[in-house]
Structure 1
Amino acid sequence: MSVTSRYREAWERFWREAPGEPEAVFWDAAPRLAAGVHLPLFEPHLTDPHLPLLDLGCGNGTQTRFLAERFPHVVGADIAAAAIEHARRGDPAGQATYRVLDATDKGEAEALHAELGDANVYMRGVLHQCEPGDRQPLADALATLTGERGRVFLVELAEAAGPILGGLAQSPSGPPPKLAPVLRHGIAPGEVADAAVPRLLSTAGLTVLAGGELPLATTESAPGGGRLRLPSNWCVAARAR
């Protein structure tokens, strides 16, 4: 199974139109507010930090470049070729490598695992962007990519984020400027029940090792001032023994 052409093209259009400057995209928070917060939660669970690290759903590569400063072999992967073009332009030194990947396609996930071997995977806010039928195949891909030795760090919007985003989208003055393109291209976050994420991982053969709640920083301003932060849940998972 792979994602629909409509879904893929929506992401291509979004990234073709996205500005290249930092924090221009709704979720493109600076690493100190994103991967930099997540790494202290992830690193204690890594059995082998020298495994390749895959930033799955890397977008324009902001977090990928940060990770590449801390791990020896980092790969950024995204479904949209336009996103990968952004990522490569933003990394002229080639700190990481980048590739187009449809992780819901079993064959593509298996081929990448055959190339890299077991990998540690960092995935921020991707499951809730998937169409419902693609979520289990994506979780299955995480199990394939991590193999026996890898670990996955996953952070996803909590159910409580739904009403916040809905309120912003339906604001009388219109959605905030960085959220508006997301809505216009039809890639608005879908609601994933908090209990669904561990179920998806378990069905894929993964065991949750640790988890908790953590605000997910965006680049948008909150209605009351300051940075908009959305409720989210994180977990670290590994192949079930």
Structure 2
Amino acid sequence: MDVSQQYRQSWEGFWAATSDAPGEAIWDAEASLSAEPHCRLLLPYADTSLPVVDLGCGSGTQTRYLSTVFARALGFDLSQAAVEHARRADTAGVAEFEQLNLVDADAVGALHRRIGDTNVYMRAVIHQSEPTARPAVAAAVAELVGEKGRAFVVELTPASKDVLQAAAEAPDGPPKKLRRVFDHGLKPAGATDEEVPELLRAAGLTILADGDTVLPQTEKMPDGSRIDLPARWFVLATAAS
């Protein structure tokens, strides 16, 4: 299985056109607003002596924070341009970054054989994946977790569409960072409320904990308030572990 050429080109084009400035991508929030609070939810269940993989790592902001918590941190993204961003941003060399297509089961299996069971951090990947690819993305999480790892998955809910629509209908049009998302054909909040947990369970994952949250963005509403997108988080293990 593979992603469509259009999907791949959309992400490659987005990251190729994105500068190295922190927060240039609308979702590139500081780790203090993202990976740090997420780790507080995951750590009661996770073995930090295992590695952690950040799936859909983008510019690597969250991966670099994860390296301070886990024994080894690796970031993976479909876009090679994103991987190059992440490598440039990691001036201290605290993490490793590679290109990976999550729907390529052979590549995911090879990664698991190389690093063993691992913890997984995946922020807002399923909701923007092509619908036909979403089961494979969930299966990749289960494959990498194996028997010993744990996963933290957080995904936008459909309520995010209302927030994004309100931002897009501002008198001056969508704010710049949001406009870039639309211009590159990216489609946020594409999964239904029940689709994500159903996909995770179907992949053989057990939900150990879950809850509602928001994913802070690096862009503002017309009134100057930060765009916070409604989301739901899950701490996961394989059913066999």
Mapping 1:1-241, distance limit 5 Å: 1-46=1-46, 48-241=47-240
Select between 96-105 and 225-234 the one with higher mean Cα deviation.
Answer: 225-234
Total equivalences in the alignment = 240
With structure 1 as the length reference, what TM-score do the two structures score?
0.96
Contact kept? 1:27, 1:218, Cα under 8 Å: yes
Select between 108-117 and 161-170 the one with higher mean Cα deviation.
Answer: 161-170
Select between 128-137 and 190-199 the one with higher mean Cα deviation.
Answer: 190-199
Q: Which runs of 5+ in 2 are unaligned?
A: none
Contact kept? 1:131, 1:190, Cα under 8 Å: no
Q: Measure how far apart 1:188 and its partner are.
A: 2.5
Counterparts of 1:121 and 1:230 in 2: how far apart (Å)? 22
Contact kept? 2:163, 2:227, Cα under 8 Å: no
Counterparts of 2:194 and 2:171 in 1: how far apart (Å)? 33
Structure 1 vs Structure 2 CA RMSD: 1.1
Q: Measure how far apart 1:239 and its partner are.
A: 0.3
Q: Which runs of 5+ in 1 are unaligned?
A: none
Which amino acid in the other structure matches residue 97 of structure 1? E
Contact kept? 2:156, 2:189, Cα under 8 Å: no
Q: Measure how far apart 1:91 and its partner are.
A: 0.8
Which amino acid in the other structure matches residue 17 of structure 2? E
Q: Measure how far apart 1:226 and its partner are.
A: 2.3
Contact kept? 2:125, 2:155, Cα under 8 Å: yes
* Percent identity (aligned): 47
SS in 2 for 1:77: strand
Counterparts of 2:183 and 2:171 in 1: how far apart (Å)? 17
Which amino acid in the other structure matches residue 201 of structure 2? S
Q: Measure how far apart 1:182 and its partner are.
A: 0.6
Counterparts of 2:149 and 2:221 in 1: how far apart (Å)? 37
Counterparts of 1:133 and 1:9 in 2: how far apart (Å)? 17
Contact kept? 1:130, 1:190, Cα under 8 Å: no
Q: Measure how far apart 1:172 and its partner are.
A: 4.3
SS in 2 for 1:93: coil
Counterparts of 1:131 and 1:163 in 2: how far apart (Å)? 20
With structure 2 as the length reference, what TM-score do the two structures score?
0.96
Counterparts of 2:133 and 2:187 in 1: how far apart (Å)? 15
Which amino acid in the other structure matches residue 22 of structure 2? P
Which amino acid in the other structure matches residue 167 of structure 1? A
Q: Deviations over 1:61-96 (max 9, x none)?
A: 011111112222100000000000000000122100
